[in-house]
């Protein structure tokens, strides 16, 4: 299931932006394959430009993205979160983020991390001090709130799209049923005409037989025509049965949509 097929992404991005403005935390949406499907909101240079901008930092960040869940400390010492997006028991994506400090940073510790990542320590520390500081309790509460609201929004979008699809299918089936009924009516009229001709020809056949006796050639011709009409009648009857079968199937499909 691709979350993009039913989710109003701009609406979600606006929600994420409002939440980030209120909490100071960063966030972004990923699909079931781990690919980003929203814009990133409120990520700092410390995370994007420097940490993820280095080869080793990017490798470590991607490992965290893939393996961590809930609220956790990332490899660089910041607090991150990951909240699954679930539809009918299936994970269709996740809302991840954080990129926030749970307490004032230890500069020496982060200088050591900068050296491990091959980043200029002083530049890294300068970027570090632009990262928001929030209590661990408030970070966890904010992450849970965003996860709950996003799941409600996604489910609402999914249900709405499902209902629209159901209505489209119902409209198609109703139109098909109407067409089948019209087709059956037309074939029934054809049968009525054939039956009328059969009656006339049968009468003519009787007259010819009376005039010519047992060996009347006219009777043989008329009898053959009656036979052809009988065949045509049988074919149309078979066609009507097929149409009725299709109509019954269509009605059953409509019943399932209720």
> CA dist 96 to 80, 89, 180, 236, Å?
7, 19, 52, 64
> CA dist 167 to 62, 97, 138, 180, Å?
42, 37, 44, 20
* Measured distance CA(245)–CA(212) in Å, rounded: 47
Domain identity same for 118 and 181: no
Domain identity same for 154 and 179: no
Domain identity same for 196 and 112: no
Quote the pTM value. Answer: 0.62
Domain identity same for 128 and 192: no
Q: Which residues pair with 71 in a beta bridge?
A: 81
Q: Provide the token pair at 83.
A: 């909240």
198-235 pLDDT, tens digit per residue, is: 555 554 555 455 455 554 444 445 445 544 555 555 56
> CA dist 250 to 58, 70, 113, 153, 176, Å?
55, 47, 66, 34, 8
Domain identity same for 42 and 152: yes
Domain identity same for 48 and 171: no
Domain identity same for 157 and 173: no
What is the CA angle 46-69-2, rounded to 5? 95
* Measured distance CA(176)–CA(184) in Å, rounded: 12
Domain identity same for 120 and 43: yes
Domain identity same for 61 and 109: yes
* Measured distance CA(2)–CA(92) in Å, rounded: 7
Final residue in a domain of this structure, among 162, 189, 223: 162
Domain identity same for 71 and 84: yes
Domain identity same for 155 and 210: no
Domain identity same for 109 and 184: no
* Measured distance CA(242)–CA(103) in Å, rounded: 75
> Do residues 116 and 76 make contact, with C-beta atoms less than 8 angstroms apart?
no
What is the total count of domains within the chain?
Answer: 2
* Measured distance CA(15)–CA(153) in Å, rounded: 10
Per-residue pLDDT of the chain (258 residues; tens, 9 = 90+): 899 988 899 999 999 999 999 999 999 999 998 889 999 999 999 998 999 999 999 999 888 888 888 999 988 889 999 999 999 999 999 999 999 999 999 999 999 999 999 999 999 999 999 999 999 999 999 999 999 999 999 998 888 877 765 655 655 655 665 566 566 556 656 655 655 555 555 545 554 554 555 544 444 454 455 445 555 555 665 665 666 566 556 556 655 655
Final residue in a domain of this structure, among 162, 185, 218: 162
* Measured distance CA(116)–CA(217) in Å, rounded: 110
Exposure on the CB side of residue 89, measured as CA atoms within 13 A: 0
Final residue in a domain of this structure, among 104, 136, 162: 162
């Amino acid at each position: 299931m691709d979350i993009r097929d039913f989710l109003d992404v701009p609406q979600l991005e606006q929600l994420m932006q409002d939440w980030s403005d209120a909490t100071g935390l960063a966030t972004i949406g990923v699909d079931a394959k781990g690919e980003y499907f929203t814009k990133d909101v409120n990520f700092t240079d410390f995370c994007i430009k420097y940490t993820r901008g280095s080869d080793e930092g990017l490798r470590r960040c991607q490992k965290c993205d893939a393996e961590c869940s809930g609220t956790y400390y990332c490899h660089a010492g910041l607090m991150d979160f990951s909240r699954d997006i679930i539809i009918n028991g299936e994970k269709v994506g996740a809302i991840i983020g954080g990129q926030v400090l749970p307490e004032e940073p230890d500069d020496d510790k982060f200088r050591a991390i900068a050296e491990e990542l091959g980043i200029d320590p002083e530049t890294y520390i300068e970027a570090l001090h632009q990262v928001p500081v929030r209590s661990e309790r408030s970070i966890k509460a904010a992450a849970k709130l965003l996860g709950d609201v996003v799941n409600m929004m996604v489910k609402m979008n999914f249900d709405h799209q499902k209902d629209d699809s159901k209505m489209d299918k119902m409209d198609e089936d109703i139109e098909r049923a109407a067409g089948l009924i019209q087709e059956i009516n037309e074939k029934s009229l054809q049968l009525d005409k054939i039956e009328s001709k059969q009656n006339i020809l049968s009468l003519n056949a009787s007259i010819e037989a009376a005039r010519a006796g047992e060996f009347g050639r006219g009777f043989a011709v008329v009898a053959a025509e009656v036979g052809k009409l009988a065949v045509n009648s049988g074919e149309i009857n078979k066609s009507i049965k097929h149409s009725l079968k299709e109509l019954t199937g269509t009605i059953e499909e409509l019943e399932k949509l209720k």
